[in-house]
Chains A and B, each alone.
Chain A
Amino acid sequence: MSQTKVEAPFVEKVHHFKNLIQNGGMQIWQRGTSATTIPDGVVSTVDRWVMSEGTDGSATSEYDLLSDADRATTGHSYALELNCTGADTSIAAGDRSYIYHSIEAQNCQHLKWGSSAAENLCLSFWVKSNLTGNFSVSMRQEDNTTYYLPLSYTINSANTWEQKVIQISPTAGSTSLITSSNGVINNDNGRGLMIFFGLVWGSNYTGSYSGTPTWTSTADHADSDITFTNFYSSTSNNLYITGVQLEVGNQATEFEHVPHHVELQRCQRYYQQIPHTAATTWQAYPLWGVNANVMSTRLQLPVVMRAAPTGAFVGTRNTDFKAYYNGGYQTLTAESVADTTDDAVRFDMNSSGAFAANAAGGLYINTTDGRITLTAEI
Chain B
Amino acid sequence: MNIKSVKKMVMPEDGTTETNTLKVTDTNDKVYFVPKVNANLDYQDVLEWVAAGNTIEEAD
Report the separation of the CA atoms of residues A258 and B39 in the bound assembly, to the nearest whole angstrom: 27
**Count of interface residues, chain A, beta-carbon cutoff 8 Å:** 27
Contact B12 A310 (CB under 8 A): no
CB pair A336 B33 closer than 8 Å: yes
Chain A CB count within 10 A is highest, among B31, B34, B35, for: B35
B1 contacts across to A, CB distance below 8 A: 42
For A311, list chain B residues within 8 Å (CB). Answer: 21, 32-33
Residue of A nearest to B34 (CB): A310
Asked if B39 and A307 make an inter-chain contact with CB atoms under 8 angstroms apart, the answer reads yes
- Interface size class on chain B is 20 to 34
Q: Is A291 an interface residue (CB 8 A)?
A: yes
Interface membership of A309, Cβ < 8 A: yes
Is there a chain B Cβ closer than 8 Å to A142's Cβ? no
Contacts of A290 in B (CB 8 A): 12-13
- Please name the residue on chain A nearest to B21 by beta carbon: A338
Contact A308 B20 (CB under 8 A): yes
Q: Report the Cα distance A37→B12, complex, angstroms.
A: 38
Cβ < 8 Å to B, chain A residues 245-298? 290-291, 293-294, 296
Whether B12 contacts A306 by the Cβ 8 Å rule is no
B34 to chain A: which residues have CB within 8 Å? Answer: 310
Known: A290-B12, A307-B40. A312 touches B20 (CB 8 A): no
A290 → B minimal CB distance (Å):
5
Q: Considering residues B1, B33, B39, which has the most beta carbons from chain A within 10 angstroms of its beta carbon? A: B33
- A-contacting residues, B8-60, CB 8 Å: 9, 11-13, 19-21, 23, 30-35, 37, 39-42
| B residues with CB within 8 A of A | 1, 9, 11-13, 19-21, 23, 30-35, 37, 39-42
